[in-house]
Amino acid sequence: MSSRLAAIAGERGLLTFDDAVSDHLGAGWTQAPVEQEAAISIRHLLKMTSGLTPQLAYEADPDTRWRYNTPAYHHLLRIIAGAANQSREAVTSDWLTGRIGMRDSGWAPRPWADADIAVVEDTRAVDEATRPSQDLNPAYGYLWWLNGQSFRLGAAGASRNDGPLIASAPPDLVAAQGALDKKLYVVPSLDLVVTRLGDRGSIEGSSFNDAFWDLLIQAAPPQRNPE
């Protein structure tokens, strides 16, 4: 959702992806030295290449290391709401959820997270979000996982796997993956959207992604050409 809202904000001229985060949040939003902090852009947050640790301390220069960093990218919503001069709830409803008929949505604090970070018609935004955003982890777009690319999981420096994120799923699948196996899969070639909520899946000897798609693909209709 944050990637869509960021793209809409960009098209409305409220920000650019190459803006320094500090231009929107001011100095001191990280634990990094001022010079390193000033080098971090909105695009780096979207690509997960900010160079920050989960504690927002300096780890590496931007675009030199990939790390899935929830505390860092959560600042995107602060940036977008500030640029729009609206609350998080208002900008999300006005730009996105309200326009597609969602009447009961909102942002809720996470009791286990720092309080400061709790928290479609735009085809160009979709296209950019679902292409590789960098070479460090080709299976990552702008906050979306891409199945047709070799991927890297885990902390910075983890080895890259040869092959797709989900071997049995179609290569045009894109996915949002949350804690406890919460999933959103979008597969244009199957005209398919799958959402999974709840607790972590209990699947012996296999990841939820692999086990789910091994079964689903057996029942799926013939694929059409994603082009």
Class of domain 2-131: alpha beta
Report the pLDDT averaged over residues 206-210: 82
Domain locations along the chain: 2-131
pLDDT at 109: 62
Amino acid occupying residue 226: P
Q: Is the pTM of this model over 0.75?
A: no
The Cα 76–Cα 220 span in angstroms is 36
Highest mean pLDDT among 32-36, 155-159, 219-223 belongs to 32-36
Tell me the two tokens of residue 198: 């709840």
Sequence-distant (6+) residues with CB within 8 A of 200 are: 180, 181, 208
The sheet carrying 174-177 orders its strands as 145-146, 174-177, 183-187, 192-196
Q: Where residue 178 falls among pLDDT bands split at 50, 70, 90?
A: confident
H/E stretch holding 191 reads: none
Residue 111 has pLDDT above 90, yes or no: no
Q: Where residue 210 falls among pLDDT bands split at 50, 70, 90?
A: confident
**Is 59 in contact with 156 (CB distance < 8 Å)?**
yes
* Stronger pLDDT, 61 or 224, i.e. the higher one: 61
Sequence-distant (6+) residues with CB within 8 A of 195 are: 183, 184, 185
* Stronger pLDDT, 172 or 106, i.e. the higher one: 172
CA-atom Rg of the chain in angstroms: 18
* Stronger pLDDT, 123 or 49, i.e. the higher one: 49
pLDDT at 139: 84
